[in-house]
Amino acid sequence: MNQTNPTNDGRNISDKANESLDVLKNATTDEYKYGFVSDIETDIIPRGINEDVIRLISRKKGEPEWLLEFRLAAYRHWLTLKMPDWAHLKIPKIDYQAISYYAAPVKKESPKSLDEVDPELLKTFDKLGIPLEEQKQLSGMAVDAVMDSVSVKTTHSEVLAEKGIIFCSFSEAVKNYPDLVKKYLGKVVSYRDNFFAALNSAVFSDGSFVYIPKGVRCPMELSTYFRINAAGTGQFERTLIVADDDSYVSYLEGCTAPMRDENQLHAAIVEIIVEDRAEVKYSTVQNWYAGDKDGKGGIYNFVTKRGLCRGDFSKLSWTQVETGSAITWKYPSCVLAGDNSVGEFYSVAVTRNRQQADTGTKMIHIGRNSRSTIVSKGISAGYSENSYRGLVSVAPQADGVRNYTQCDSLLLSSTCGAHTFPYLDIKNPTAVVEHEATTSKISEEQLFYCNQRGIPTEEAVGLIINGYAKEVMNKLPMEFAVEAQRLLQITLEGSVG
Amino acid sequence: MNSLTQYIDLYRQNADAINSHSALIMNEMRPAAASALEGKRLPEKGDEGFKVTSIEKMFEPDYGVNILRMNIPTEIGRSFKCDIPNVSTLLGVVVNDSFTPTSTMRQNLPTGVDVMPLSKACETYPDIVGKYYNKIAPANEPSVALNTMLAQEGLFIRIGRGVHLESPIQIVNIFNSPAPLMGVRRVLVVAEQDSKAAIFFCDHTQTADVKFLSSEIIEVAGEKASELDIYSIEETTPLTSRYSRLFANQENDAKIRVGTATLHCGVTRNDFTINLKGQHSEGYLSGLAIADGQMHVDNCSNVNHLAPHCDSNQLFKYLLDNNAQGAFEGGIYVDPKAPFTVGYQNNRNIVASPEARMHTEPQLLIYNDEVKCSHGTATGQLDANALFYMQARGIPYETARRMLMIAFMTDTLDTIKVEGIKSRLMMLVEKRLGGEQVLCNDCHADCHTNISTPRE
């Protein structure tokens, strides 16, 4: 335990704090504990992308013709696009022909019960701490596990089915509920939306599908775990959530990947449709492999996430804890089209070593009296770059809009960067839109205060950071909050200096 | 093919004529500027930092450029009475892009202070002009290169070492021409060590039915421990477009306060870049815009903290009515070499009509952890409770509204440290918000008369 002599001399306080920080700096850096590779027989198609590859993916998945046409249209559009370069990121050139666009654990048929699932696969998810086993039903969470590009197992489907809730892999949804998928696919994120949305629409291989019928409150948290396992592949999954009138669902996603020297691309799409008076809570704990301390390897996480609050009084809440990925580039957004609809975005983004993040949200206010809240907390350490970029747009017809944005950055080293790029576009005189941002380091007074009360610097930093991120952590479901809090501590261990 | 092509062609075809009416130092810069423009374009609407303003479109029309320096009568300056209460200023007039000092200025300019045409300064102070001209502004950026390529004349202000100038220097910029004209305005301000001065620019347009474009580059060298106040008011016409860029380099302990007020204009874009290069230097920026009709006001500020222990503050306020469009892009950049930075930015806007639009992009780019930086922006309406409170105490709605609007603008005006300039601006803002013509007392200029069909 550190002993600090109370003194009125500011210099002494500062020296003491610096000394303690040096101790912390030299502390062992935490290793990425999900960096193992599972020895699972995997079906990988040759690298490269062209129309034949897309036809092959579609054939492997046994898809209907309309979906193949959707993919091909997306691919043809993608060919006309150039990778955007406006983000505050340094992205090495990506060779899209060097990626394999389909990798799946070899499985004969869709598993009917747990006994049919590859034991190695179960072991993998067990290592990740994911309750796939049916005896863990009491954990009160339904899980869809996506390995590489395909969904390997969804639990609790039957229980949910009793309430009319559909929670299954995207491929199953295409087979069993083609009308629903056709009705909603690409309605929120069109394949024309952006470069990565077009790429995903062309090659997506699986994902999750959720449909909550009218008036149903989902009795448990729905959760998807994404795992990249195979080398030389990208992951392109798609999540589609539809919450019908008066329904409620809380959805969680988590992601991990092995430690490799190569960079792997993850370009997913999440589409959410929220109808009248429905509410969707979408939580993410993103812990993709971030590369080593020199920035070698790691996942490029380029994801398009958007929800359409179509119904009046509908509500969509995004909560994210971003600690992984070499590069994160995503803006979970809310299109608040319904009158009195509500959008929320709570984010903690942590970058360390050579990580880069350009993340934030968009709140597009179209409906009258729509409201949105944005709370973004960035924590940068090492040589990392952490940017918040957000848009609040108020359409001319959107009377009575209210937005509040708070975005704070905490710098934990003198070599990192923390940036804020908010865009406010107001086209209605009744809107009240506010944005506040601050950037600072952990104050020496705070550290000294903790030291003085016998709390070592390491613990004090953890305490202060958790306090700083608490506003966001509080929004996470209980199951994730504990994990996220631990993750935050582990991630920043040894990063302060 | 873009708007630059016509200007490059103009230069190529008339290089001799342009050079013959300018000075050697300025002429030497032209070929490189022309080369820098090849294959480039000016920013377009939608580009980063230019979400609502197209500079390309601003420069697109076929404006005349007074290459042959045709004589335009400077008597026009006499009709302008830009009075500054209780302060006698050192007045100079720039008609289109040619500077003429008034007799007051000639007689009262103290020793150690120079206010002269840039071409003359090239001969009188070749070392100073050579040191700073086109060196503070980024020479290869298209709008700067365009100005460098075509600027034949300009304004040079030097505040000598240790001189504390008591009277503000007032420069009245006037557009006057029977045909559409682009004024290529260039200003170089050098505040030498330990000097102190205030400079006040008033922009007007005399011929209200003619289109004008002001392409203005202001370079400011703030040497050690200098202190400069630079304020500008724009009261031009709906047919006047303006792209004004100010670049200031601040050395150790130098302080600069820059303020801008846009009261009448067509399309205006003001860029302010302050580079805090020396330790303990300070940069303060403030701006206000009262816009109605079809006015378009876009202010962009960038404060670059490049050395330790520097302070900056930015405050911009907009009041938008009718179909007005406002935009604010502001940035604070903190270099890794700039610990102990304090940088604040604040932008507040009132959108008063369904057709008015406001776009804001306040930005922070921080590369050092020893900083205290924040920014805030809010767009909304007048406080309904305050309005009700005042009405409940017998103040008529319109008066209460106007009082609240004036109150909203007050803290921007409070950033002006020269009392006379502050009072004048307050008077103009009050007149503006009261729906009166924004004219100084006894001003006989006709720039605010009704606009008829534009002359092409």
B432-452: pLDDT as tens digits: 887 665 665 555 554 444 333
Q: Is B315 on the interface with A (CB under 8 A)?
A: no
Q: Is B381 on the interface with A (CB under 8 A)?
A: yes
**Of B316, B329, B352, B208, whose CA–CA distance to B266 is shortest?**
B208
Averaged pLDDT score across all residues of chain A: 81
Averaged pLDDT score across all residues of chain B: 88
Task: Give the percent of chain B with pLDDT over 90.
Answer: 63
Residue A491: per-residue pLDDT: 65
Residue A224: per-residue pLDDT: 81
Residue B213: per-residue pLDDT: 94
- The residues in B 320-339 lying below 8 A from A, measured between CB atoms, are 336, 339
Furthest CA-CA distance within chain A? 76
Residue A27: per-residue pLDDT: 31
Question: With an 8 Å Cβ cutoff, are B375 and A423 in contact?
Answer: no
Question: With an 8 Å Cβ cutoff, are A440 and B371 in contact?
Answer: yes
At B231-282, the pLDDT tens digits run 999 988 999 999 999 999 999 999 999 999 999 899 999 999 999 999 999 9
Question: What is the DSSP annotation of B393-417?
Answer: TT--HHHHHHHHHHHHHHHHHTT--
- Confidence check: pLDDT of A313 > 90: yes
Strand stretches in A369-431, DSSP E? 371-380, 385-394, 402-411, 417-426
Residues of A in contact with B48 (CB under 8 A): 86
Kindly identify which residue of chain A lies nearest to residue B358, measuring between CA atoms. Answer: A426
At A246-256, the pLDDT tens digits run 999 999 887 76
CA of B386 to nearest chain A CA: how many angstroms apart?
A: 16
At residue A365's C-alpha, the angle toward residues A361 and A368, to 5°, is 150
CA of B405 to nearest chain A CA: how many angstroms apart?
A: 15
Residue A234: per-residue pLDDT: 80
Question: With an 8 Å Cβ cutoff, are B381 and A86 in contact?
Answer: no
Question: With an 8 Å Cβ cutoff, are B366 and A439 in contact?
Answer: yes
Task: Note whether residue B244 is domain-resident.
Answer: yes
Cβ proximity of B319 and B290 under 8 Å: yes
Q: Is B358 on the interface with A (CB under 8 A)?
A: yes
Task: For residue B62, report the phi and psi dihedrals to the nearest 5 degrees.
Answer: -85, 85
Residue B369: per-residue pLDDT: 86
Residues of A in contact with B379 (CB under 8 A): 424, 426, 431-433
Question: With an 8 Å Cβ cutoff, are B376 and A419 in contact?
Answer: no
Q: Is A128 on the interface with B (CB under 8 A)?
A: no
Kindly identify which residue of chain A lies nearest to residue B375, measuring between CA atoms. Answer: A437
Cβ proximity of A161 and A207 under 8 Å: no
Q: What is the mean pLDDT of residues A23-44?
A: 55
Q: Is A426 on the interface with B (CB under 8 A)?
A: yes
Q: Which position has the higher pLDDT, A2 or A286? A: A286
Q: Is A419 on the interface with B (CB under 8 A)?
A: yes
Residues of B in contact with A437 (CB under 8 A): 362, 364, 374-376
Q: How many domains does chain B have?
A: 1
Kindly identify which residue of chain A lies nearest to residue B380, measuring between CA atoms. Answer: A432
Q: Which position has the higher pLDDT, A290 or B138? A: B138
Task: For residue B71, report the phi and psi dihedrals to the nearest 5 degrees.
Answer: -75, 120
Q: Is A356 on the interface with B (CB under 8 A)?
A: no
Cα–chain center distance at A129: 18
Cβ proximity of A457 and A20 under 8 Å: yes
Kindly identify which residue of chain B lies nearest to residue A432, measuring between CA atoms. Answer: B380
Distance (Å, whole) CA B161 – CA B114: 12
The helix or strand, by DSSP H or E, that contains position A75, with its residue range, turns out to be helix A65-79
Residue B331: per-residue pLDDT: 92
Distance (Å, whole) CA B25 – CA B153: 11
Q: Is A396 on the interface with B (CB under 8 A)?
A: yes
Residue A8: per-residue pLDDT: 39
- Confidence check: pLDDT of A140 > 70: no
Task: Note whether residue B435 is domain-resident.
Answer: no
Kindly identify which residue of chain A lies nearest to residue B333, measuring between CA atoms. Answer: A419
pLDDT-based confidence at A286, cuts 50/70/90?
confident
Residues of A in contact with B354 (CB under 8 A): 396, 428-429
Distance (Å, whole) CA A224 – CA A142: 8
Residue A68: per-residue pLDDT: 94
Residue A413: per-residue pLDDT: 84
Kindly identify which residue of chain B lies nearest to residue A401, measuring between CA atoms. Answer: B380
Task: Give the percent of chain A with pLDDT over 90.
Answer: 42
pLDDT-based confidence at A99, cuts 50/70/90?
confident
Question: With an 8 Å Cβ cutoff, are B361 and A422 in contact?
Answer: yes
Residues of B in contact with A414 (CB under 8 A): 336, 339, 368-370
Question: With an 8 Å Cβ cutoff, are B361 and A435 in contact?
Answer: no
Distance (Å, whole) CA A188 – CA A184: 8
At A391-438, the pLDDT tens digits run 999 999 999 999 999 988 988 888 889 999 999 999 999 999 999 888
Q: Is A429 on the interface with B (CB under 8 A)?
A: yes
User: Could you tell me the residue range of the domain that residue B182 belongs to?
Assistant: 3-380
**Of A415, A417, A327, whose CA–CA distance to A379 is shortest?**
A417
- Confidence check: pLDDT of B346 > 90: yes
Question: With an 8 Å Cβ cutoff, are B361 and A429 in contact?
Answer: no
Cross-chain CB nearest to B376 (options A411, A412, A435): A435
**Residues paired with B374 in a beta bridge:** A438, B344
Measured CA to CA in angstroms, residue B120 lies from A7, A67, A154, B98 at distances of: 63, 74, 82, 12
Distance (Å, whole) CA B62 – CA B69: 18
Residue A4: per-residue pLDDT: 37
Q: What is the mean pLDDT of residues A371-395?
A: 92
Output the CA torsion sign for A77, A78, A82, A86.
positive
CA of B17 to nearest chain A CA: how many angstroms apart?
A: 42
pLDDT-based confidence at B456, cuts 50/70/90?
very low
Q: What is the mean pLDDT of residues A290-317?
A: 91
Cross-chain CB nearest to B366 (options A419, A423, A427): A419
Residues of A in contact with B363 (CB under 8 A): 419-422
Kindly identify which residue of chain A lies nearest to residue B319, measuring between CA atoms. Answer: A429
Task: Note whether residue B20 is domain-resident.
Answer: yes
Two tokens at B94? 């720039």
CA of A122 to nearest chain B CA: how many angstroms apart?
A: 44
Q: Is A439 on the interface with B (CB under 8 A)?
A: yes
- Confidence check: pLDDT of A53 > 50: yes
Q: Is A441 on the interface with B (CB under 8 A)?
A: yes
Two tokens at A200? 């995903």
Q: How many contacts does A have with B, using Cβ atoms within 8 A? A: 113
| SS3 state at B153 | coil
The helix or strand, by DSSP H or E, that contains position B200, with its residue range, turns out to be strand B196-205
- Tell me what ipTM this predicted complex has: 0.78
Residues of B in contact with A424 (CB under 8 A): 358-361, 377, 379
pLDDT-based confidence at A86, cuts 50/70/90?
confident
Cβ-in-10-Å burial (0-12, 13-18, 19+) of A89 comes to middle
Residues of B in contact with A404 (CB under 8 A): none
Contacts of A59 (CB under 8 A, 6+ apart): none
Least confident interval from A87-96, A456-465, B142-151: A456-465
**Where are the domains positioned within chain A?**
1-30+442-497, 37-330
Q: What is the mean pLDDT of residues A71-87?
A: 93
Distance (Å, whole) CA B297 – CA A337: 30
Q: What is the mean pLDDT of residues A276-299?
A: 87
At B51-92, the pLDDT tens digits run 999 999 999 998 988 888 877 665 555 556 565 555 678 888
- Confidence check: pLDDT of A105 > 60: yes
Q: What is the mean pLDDT of residues A362-380?
A: 94
- Rounded to two decimals, the pTM is 0.83
| SS3 state at B334 | strand
Distance (Å, whole) CA A209 – CA A295: 34
Q: Is A235 on the interface with B (CB under 8 A)?
A: no
Query: Pairing mode, if any, of strands A237-243 and B181-191?
Result: unpaired
Q: Is B100 on the interface with A (CB under 8 A)?
A: no
pLDDT-based confidence at A122, cuts 50/70/90?
low
Furthest CA-CA distance within chain B? 70
Angle between helix B419-433 and B397-413 (nearest 10): 150
Task: Note whether residue B408 is domain-resident.
Answer: no
Cβ proximity of A328 and A362 under 8 Å: no
Q: What is the mean pLDDT of residues A212-236?
A: 82
- Confidence check: pLDDT of A70 > 60: yes
Task: Note whether residue B455 is domain-resident.
Answer: no
At residue A154's C-alpha, the angle toward residues A149 and A158, to 5°, is 150
Cross-chain CB nearest to B358 (options A413, A426, A441): A426
Residue B359: per-residue pLDDT: 93
Question: What is the DSSP annotation of B232-292?
Answer: EEEE--TTEEEEEEEEEEE-TT-EEEEEEEEEE-SEEEEEEEEEE-STT-EEEEEEEEEE-
Q: Is B126 on the interface with A (CB under 8 A)?
A: no
- Confidence check: pLDDT of A226 > 80: no
Cross-chain CB nearest to B367 (options A417, A427, A435): A417
Cross-chain CB nearest to A431 (options B48, B363, B379): B379
Q: For testing the chain A interface, which of B379, B385, B401, B405 should be mutated: the one with the most A CBs within 10 Å?
A: B379
Task: Give the percent of chain A with pLDDT over 70.
Answer: 76
Cross-chain CB nearest to B378 (options A416, A434, A438): A434
Question: With an 8 Å Cβ cutoff, are B366 and A424 in contact?
Answer: no
